[in-house]
């Protein structure tokens, strides 16, 4: 494939030009490693309580200190990566698949499909999205899966809109007409011709959306939805630590909060970098 080599060169160019993107990429690799190997790397059992050692400030033995039950905050922060990223990846995955299917259909066939999909996405967007997520979780029941579904639903409009507009520009492109002439069915054209072509802008959307999905899921668990207390998750750790802020035990809430921030920051930077790669004209 002679189209791949220039792309890789372009990637290298963008990475070396833009150190921030390189940094974000490194951070991303780190997060993925933590998500997969977290439980193996963590120095302590994230659920092991130790009342004697409760509320100790950061030290060599406990770099992030210990919480009100004497659990090691550092280990809990590491182990939580898996759950936090897992929720975000699952939610974004669902909205990517359903959103691009709906958007592709709307953009390709137009007509009443377009009108219905457009109306549904408009209606979802008419809600303040975090508030809608709260309502969905309240209705479906308070569990981690429902956090995922709620986050997926509120992200759906973004994917279906991008997919719709990208397909609509291309639906009369030369290669689509060629495929039609050679007797391909509409669905086949959508799947084999159009979908691969709209993937780059969709990937940018995914990356920009991941950070937001993580924030959203953490926000929901911060207010007590989804993840149940003994489990380690950044949002709930910040919520548990919040009561100790006013008495000066800052490490309980600060470290999980900082890591959460870093993760979101990483995905936002990565999204910007990816957009530069895919669409140099829209650079900011």
Partner 1 sequence: MKISSLAITQKGPPVHDNKLVQITLRVLQSVPSIIGIVVISFALTRALPGDPAVYFAGDIADEESIQLIREQLGLNRSWLEQLGIYAANLVQGNLGMSLNTGRPVSEELLERLPASLELTLFGLGLAIIVAVPLGILAATRPGSWVDQLCRILVTAGVSVPTFFTGLLLIYIFYYLLGWSPSPLGRLDILYLSPPQVTGFYLVDSLLAKDIETFWAAFKQLLLPAITLGLFALAPLARMTRGAMLNALGSEYVRTARANGLSQTTILITYALKNASLPILTVLGMVFSFLLGANVLVEKVFSWPGIGSFAIEALIASDYAAVQGFVLCMALLFVVVNLIIDVILTLIDPRITLES
Q: Is 253 in the site for partner 1 (CB under 8 A)?
A: yes
Taking the complex as a whole, how short is the minimal distance between the CB of residue 159 and partner 1, in angstroms? 17
Residue 82, interface with partner 1 (CB under 8 A)?
no
Would you count residue 149 as binding partner 1 (CB under 8 A)? no
- Cβ closest to partner 1, residue 201 vs residue 211: 211
Q: Per-residue string for binding with partner 1, 183-222, x by CB under 8 A?
A: ----------------------------x---x--xx--x
143 part of the interface to partner 1, by CB under 8 A? no
Each residue 217-236 as x (binds partner 1 by CB under 8 A) or -, in order, gives -xx--xxxx---------x-
Residue 57 binding partner 1, by CB under 8 A: no
Indicate the helix (H) or strand (E) that contains 282: none
Token code pair at residue 92 = 């974004």
Three-class SS state of 148: helix
Q: How far is the CB of 181 from partner 1 (least distance, A)?
A: 37
Task: List beta partners, residue 72.
Answer: 66
Q: Which of 126, 174, 182, 283 binds partner 1 (CB under 8 A)?
A: 126
Q: Which residues pair with 66 in a beta bridge?
A: 72
Q: Please tell me the distance from the alpha carbon of residue 220 to that of residue 228, in angstroms, as a whole number.
A: 12
With b meaning 16 or more CB within 10 Å and e meaning fewer, what string describes 15-31? eeebeebeebbebbeeb
Q: Does 281 bind partner 1 (CB under 8 A)?
A: no
Residue 2's Cβ-side half-sphere holds a number of Cα atoms within 13 Å equal to: 0
Contact between 116 and partner 1 per CB under 8 A: no
Instruction: Please tell me the count of residues contacting partner 1 according to CB under 8 A.
Output: 49
The span from the CA of 233 to the CA of 249, in Å, is: 19
67's tokens: 């919480």
22 contacts partner 1 (rule: CB under 8 A): no
CB of 72 to partner 1, least distance (A): 21
> Does residue 83 touch partner 1 according to CB under 8 A?
no
Examine residue 92 and tell whether it contacts partner 1 (CB under 8 A): no
Taking the complex as a whole, how short is the minimal distance between the CB of residue 22 and partner 1, in angstroms?
16
Quote the tokens at residue 61. 């033995």
Q: CB of 194 within 8 A of CB of 104?
A: yes
Q: What angle do CA 33, 198, 118 make, to 5 degrees?
A: 105
User: Which span sits near partner 1 by CB under 8 A: 101-109, 119-127, 158-166, 184-192?
Assistant: 119-127
State yes or no: residue 7 binds partner 1 (CB under 8 A). Answer: no
27 touches partner 1 (CB under 8 A): no
Q: How far apart are CA 178 and CA 144, in angstroms?
A: 46
Residue 135 or 280 having the CB closest to partner 1: 135
Q: Which long-range contacts (CB under 8 A, 24 or more apart) does 131-139 make?
A: 133/216, 133/220, 134/220, 134/223, 134/225, 137/220, 137/225, 137/226
Which residues contact partner 1 by CB under 8 A?
Answer: 119, 122-124, 126-132, 134-142, 211, 215, 218-219, 222-225, 235, 238-239, 241-242, 245-248, 250, 253-254, 257-258, 260-261, 264-265, 268-269, 284
């Amino acid at each position: 494939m002679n189209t791949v080599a220039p792309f890789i060169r372009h990637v290298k160019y963008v990475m070396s030009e833009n150190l921030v993107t390189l940094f974000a990429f490194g951070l991303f690799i780190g997060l993925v490693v933590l998500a997969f190997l977290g439980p193996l790397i963590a120095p302590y059992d994230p659920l092991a309580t130790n009342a004697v050692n409760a509320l100790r400030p950061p030290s060599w033995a406990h770099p992030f200190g210990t919480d009100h039950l004497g659990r090691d905050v550092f280990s809990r922060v590491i182990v939580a990566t898996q759950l936090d990223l897992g929720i975000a990846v699952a939610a974004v995955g669902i909205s990517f698949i359903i959103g691009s299917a709906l958007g592709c259909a709307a953009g390709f066939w137009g007509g009443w499909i377009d009108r219905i999909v457009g109306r549904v996405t408009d209606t979802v967007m008419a809600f303040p999205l975090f508030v809608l997520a709260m309502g969905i979780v309240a209705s479906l029941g308070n569990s981690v899966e429902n956090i995922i579904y709620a986050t997926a639903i509120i992200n759906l409009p973004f994917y279906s809109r991008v997919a719709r507009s990208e397909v609509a520009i291309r639906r009369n492109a030369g290669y689509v007409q060629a495929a039609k002439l050679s007797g391909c069915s509409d669905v086949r054209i959508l799947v084999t011709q159009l979908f691969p072509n709209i993937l780059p802008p969709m990937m940018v959307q995914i990356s920009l959306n991941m950070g937001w999905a993580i924030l959203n899921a953490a926000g929901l668990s911060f207010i007590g939805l989804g993840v149940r207390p003994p489990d380690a998750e950044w949002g709930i750790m910040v919520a548990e630590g919040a009561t100790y802020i006013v008495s000066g035990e800052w490490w309980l809430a600060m470290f999980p909060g900082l890591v959460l921030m870093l993760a979101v920051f990483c995905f936002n930077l990565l999204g910007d970098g990816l957009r530069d790669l895919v669409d140099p004209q829209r650079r900011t």
